[in-house]
Amino acid sequence: MTDQLDLLTKEELKDLVRIYARNIYALDGVWFQSVEAECGMNDAMLHDKQAWTRFTRTEALRIKNFLNLPEKPGLDGLEKALAIRFSALANPSVDLFREGESLIYRVNVCRVQSARKDKGMPYHPCAPVGFIEHAGFASAIDERIVTEMVSCFPDVTDQSCACCWRFTISNLG
């Protein structure tokens, strides 16, 4: 039997990867909204934190292996990994750039918050889960990386984006 992926062009494969990245968000939203409707936001957030703690590490280690990054690739390695993780590929607008000794990951338009807004739902209070997700991803890439939330709902400090995260290398150890 022919592997169907072998029949796709490079552009079709890129489109398929983006579809799968959006599908991860869709699956996350479907189960989250199910728990939210049945048990309330607090229980949904508890389970969301647990799920993202486990998933984020798995995603980071698989990407680290795919990119053949060394054990401690620093911000250069994190930049490469963040650029191809599902959230960077699924969200409509993401920026990744250096600012001094920091790496900034900025989601300008968030697929999750846009979907909730379109459905007339309140925004997802994603700051606690977002921190788990981003800090967990970064530390799985390199344990020396420190994550700082710059802005994320409901702790919005920058109205021009959905969320923003700063990564630096710890001076300790």
Higher pLDDT, 25 or 80: 80
Give the model's confidence band at 171: pLDDT under 50 very low, under 70 low, under 90 confident, else very high: confident
Q: Is the bond into 154 cis (omega within 30 degrees of 0)?
A: yes
> Residue 120's pLDDT band (boundaries 50, 70, 90)?
very high
Domains delineated in the chain: 10-169 (3.30.1380)
Mention every residue, 6+ apart, whose C-beta is less than 8 A from residue 63.
81, 84, 85, 141
To the nearest whole number, what is the mean pLDDT of the chain? 93
Over residues 67-114, the pLDDT tens digits come to 999 999 999 999 999 999 999 999 989 999 999 999 999 999 998 889
Q: Kindly tell me if the per-residue pLDDT of 173 is higher than 80.
A: no
Side by side, which strands form the sheet with 145-152? 93-99, 102-109, 163-169, 145-152
